[in-house]
Amino acid sequence: MTQADLIAALPEGRLPPGLMALRPSDLLALFGAGLIVSALLSLLILPFTTRRPSRKTLIRATRDLPPEDRLLAIARILGHLPEELRPAAYGLEPPPSGEALERIALSAKRPVSAESSSGADGDRGRDG
């Protein structure tokens, strides 16, 4: 049996032939459905593709907060509290002025994790 014979042996479609053909209105409906699906997908992807504000912008947004709350907000933004701000955060000394606080926060580096600073060969390069 050849491929043509197999195709000829297949039963007729259950739908009338008029419904099996694509008309311009069907193509337009499919195009509209595609637009709706693409709009929904773009809305789902939007939170992952938006640009986050910079650290500088986030730190400047804390200017209206009281000094104690501002120290806490800066610690949350940076993920740690810089060494220069710790005495002020614990009430051992008054908080620095607004400009000094921003300067310290913007110049703060990420803390070095304990895992990367210690280890079997952590002191190897110091003394030779």
Higher pLDDT, 121 or 41: 41
**Can you list the positions of beta strands (E) in the chain?**
none
Domain spans of the chain, in order of start:
55-111
Q: Note the pLDDT tens digit of each residue in 79-98.
A: 888 888 888 888 888 888 88
Map residue 107 onto helix, strand or coil.
Answer: helix
Q: Is the pLDDT of residue 116 over 90?
A: no
The reported pLDDT for the residue numbered 32 is: 98
Q: Is pLDDT above 80 for 57?
A: yes
Q: In the numeric block, which tokens belong to residue 100?
A: 């000094």
Query: Does the pTM of the predicted model rise above 0.85?
Result: no
Burial classification of residue 39, based on how many CB atoms lie within 10 Å of its CB (0-12 exposed, 13-18 middle, 19 or more buried): exposed
Residue 113 has a pLDDT of 58
The whole-number average pLDDT for the span 55-81 is: 89
